[in-house]
């Protein structure tokens, strides 16, 4: 009797946590359904990406592609020259790995992998995290058999017959926090500006510290490596309690302790907030591609799940006043969290995993 063939899944894309973490969630959900699976991530050279992937027990390789958006003519030309070699290299990687299917999660590094998979006639699935799709997924759509979306309305950018609404996959450790004991002696604010921090959020919070101290507020603040010393000095000067960290490794623990979250409006962050039912103040990154973070944030605000402040209007005084209003009204915070929960799709990773399996017709 022949042994059952091991399934080989490739996750294409990365570069940011917003692309990478959904890919990891999809891979883990797929492995839960198809235990005899090996997973290869093909993405960028960024150290954090390789670290996150290998920590989960998956293999990592580099696509060898370069982004083009926002570059000058010479750099765009250089990226274009590299593209054929990148596609060829990705074809070799897929053949050596003996890939059965490829799921693209966005980012410039996903493009060559998707095209290589199509040339090799491997099934391709895309997942789009944002309300406005990025360039890589828009260009890759023609090569995909299925496209999974996070936000209603995003199908306008793709062939509608390929699209399904799945939500944005969230890591298992985040989904599990709602069972934790969240009783605390004082209200807790979580400030997260992304993996590198956000200078605008850091400045607004540090300007607001004298007023926030009067609230008896405790702050968990991820401020980024480059700003950590300045921010810590501001907390010490204000005599403010809190944890000022360059990066938060245990996000599930931080979410569990928080009564309210101040953050950017990246799709992964919003998926996590809605999956666990956590109210937030959202400050969209103003330079995000196609202004997608503001569109993401407005969707939550219009559904009563968050409050939005545009960065151009963000200042310490107004932020302190809003925090005081929200944190002094537990009923309003609870309503905001409940509205966020209604928007959550904690089953998203399983939906995408099922979609991949349905294409390959290889079930457990």
For the annotated binding site for UDP-N-acetyl-alpha-D-glucosamine, the residues are 16-18, 130, 171, 195, 248, 293
Q: Give CA–CA dist 25/58, Å, rounded.
A: 12
Q: Give CA–CA dist 119/84, Å, rounded.
A: 13
Let me know: does 9 contact 362? Beta carbons within 8 Å. Answer: no
CA distances in angstroms from 310 to 22, 199, 282, 294, 307, listed in the order given: 26, 14, 8, 8, 10
Looking up tokens 């090996």, which residue turns up? 38
Q: Give CA–CA dist 261/189, Å, rounded.
A: 6
Helix (H, G, I), strand (E, B) or coil at 4: coil
Rama region for 167: left / alpha / beta (φ>0; ψ in -120 to 50; rest): left
Let me know: does 353 contact 26? Beta carbons within 8 Å. Answer: yes
Q: State the helix-helix crossing angle for 267-276 and 17-33, rounded to 10 degrees.
A: 50
Tokens read off for 97: 């790995």
Q: What is the DSSP string of 249-275?
A: S-HHHHHHH-SEEEE---HHHHHHHHH
CA angle 203, 204, 210 (to 5 degrees): 100
Closest residue by Cα to residue 225 from 43, 24, 30, 47:
47
Task: Give the full edge-to-edge strand order of the sheet including 146-149.
Answer: 59-62, 37-43, 7-12, 101-104, 124-128, 146-149, 163-165
Residues annotated in a binding site: 16-18, 130, 171, 195, 248, 293
């Amino acid at each position: 009797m022949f042994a059952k063939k091991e399934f080989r899944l490739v996750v294409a894309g990365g570069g940011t946590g917003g692309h990478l973490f959904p890919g990891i969630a999809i891979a883990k959900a797929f492995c839960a359904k198809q235990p005899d699976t090996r997973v290869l991530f093909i993405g960028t050279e960024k150290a954090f990406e390789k670290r996150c992937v290998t920590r989960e027990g998956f293999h990592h390789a580099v696509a060898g592609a370069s982004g083009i958006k926002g570059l000058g003519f010479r750099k765009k030309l250089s990226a274009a020259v590299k593209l054929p070699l990148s596609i060829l290299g990705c074809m070799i990687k897929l053949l050596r790995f003996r890939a059965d299917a490829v799921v693209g999660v966005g980012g410039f590094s996903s493009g060559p992998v998707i095209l290589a998979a199509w040339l090799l006639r491997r099934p391709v699935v895309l997942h789009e995290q944002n309300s406005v799709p990025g360039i890589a997924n828009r260009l890759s759509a023609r090569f995909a058999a299925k496209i999974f979306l996070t936000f209603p309305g995003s199908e306008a950018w793709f062939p509608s017959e390929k699209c399904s609404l799945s939500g944005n996959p969230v890591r298992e450790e985040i989904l599990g926090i709602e069972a934790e004991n969240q009783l605390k002696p004082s209200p807790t604010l979580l400030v997260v500006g992304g993996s590198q921090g956000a200078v605008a959020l850091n400045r607004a919070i540090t300007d607001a510290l004298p007023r926030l101290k009067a609230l008896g507020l405790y702050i968990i603040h991820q401020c980024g490596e480059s700003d950590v010393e300045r921010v810590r000095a501001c907390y010490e000067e204000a005599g403010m309690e809190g944890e000022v960290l360059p990066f938060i490794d245990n996000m599930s623990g931080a979410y569990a302790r928080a009564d309210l979250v101040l953050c950017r409006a990246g799709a992964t962050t919003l998926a996590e907030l809605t999956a666990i039912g956590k109210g937030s103040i959202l400050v969209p990154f103003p330079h995000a591609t196609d202004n997608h973070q503001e569109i993401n944030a407005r969707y939550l605000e219009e559904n009563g799940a968050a409050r939005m402040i545009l960065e151009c209007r963000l200042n310490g005084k107004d932020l302190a006043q809003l925090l005081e209003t929200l944190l002094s009204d537990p009923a309003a915070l609870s309503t905001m969290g409940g509205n966020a929960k209604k928007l959550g799709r904690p089953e998203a990773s399983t939906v995408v995993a099922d979609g991949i399996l349905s294409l390959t017709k290889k079930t457990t």
